[in-house]
Amino acid sequence: MTSDNTQDTVNTNAQSGASLPLFYKQPMPLDAKKHANLSLKKNFGFAFTAGVNAVPINMIEMPQICHYYPIAFSPDANATPVALLGLRDNENLFLQADGGWDENAYIPAYIRRYPFIFSEIPNSDQLTLCVDNVSEIIEEGSDQPFFTAEGAPSDLAKNALEFCKSYHAAAQQTLDFSRALAESSLLIEREAQINVGGNKRINFSGFRIIDEAKLAELDADTFMQWRENGWLPFIYAHLFSGSQWQRLTRLLNGRLEKEAA
């Protein structure tokens, strides 16, 4: 199963987990002959997100993300936009004890895409659909097969392919947007100091935000170009998301109370 999209792919020949995208441990290309009896486990939940406090997001999601999560940008040259999920290392405050997600919060597309992802085909511009080959996710048999008895892609696999196509198209748009931000010098490093229960303070750093003062001074030509690109709503969504630091603080205080009980 292939697509000609070329963004956010995984190299399936990689031997080191360090070279793999977040969450993915052993992505394998789906093959009708090799994987005729493989299926996706039902309701495997979101436990795979337990050890992260930030996840990449696409630009088109930012107007939704800003109502639930603070939006920041990575400190590297790509300035990848991310949704902040927690205030402490290796903690996702939106993950519930039963493996579910906070029912009142939007789930970022990067998380909803898992366990599927595209990988590059050697010596080709095409991509192939992969699934993370871990026992918590896939199994023999069951009623969510990747292929039909005739060897054709199942509805599950078809839907996964279409989702990945849409995701990668959005990822390309996001890359252009975030690189432009990085090159504009609008992004500044920021450290948040969060006061939580018990008179404790948490220092949260390693992220960047848009400096509103610098944005106000942006030259007219660049501003007009960004308006033509349709980027302004996403910039404002980032700025509006700053109010969600309070949500993270409330969630963390609730968790600290449970830990102290």
Tens of pLDDT, residues 97-131: 999 999 999 999 999 999 999 986 666 667 889 99
| Mean of all residue pLDDT scores within the chain | 89
Short-list 239, 140, 261, 251, CA closest to 187: 239
Q: How far apart are CA 6 and CA 9, in angstroms?
A: 7
The one-letter amino acid code at 106 reads Y
The one-letter amino acid code at 99 reads G
Q: Is the dihedral of CA 115, 120, 121, 125 positive or negative?
A: positive
Residue 7 is predicted with a pLDDT of 40
Short-list 78, 66, 76, CA closest to 235: 66
Which H/E stretch holds residue 168? helix 155-184
Q: How far apart are CA 10 and CA 123, in angstroms?
A: 15
Residue 102 CB neighbour total at 10 angstroms: 17
- Enumerate the domain spans of the chain: 2-260
Q: Which two tokens stand for residue 188?
A: 């500044």
Distances (CA, A) of 25 to 48, 130, 255: 10, 12, 29
End-to-end CA distance of the chain: 51
- Whether 118 and 3 have beta carbons less than 8 Å apart is answered as yes
- Whether 184 and 177 have beta carbons less than 8 Å apart is answered as no
Mean of pLDDT values over 128-152: 92
Tens-place pLDDT, residues 218-254: 999 999 999 999 999 999 999 999 999 999 999 999 9
Percent of the chain with pLDDT over 70: 90
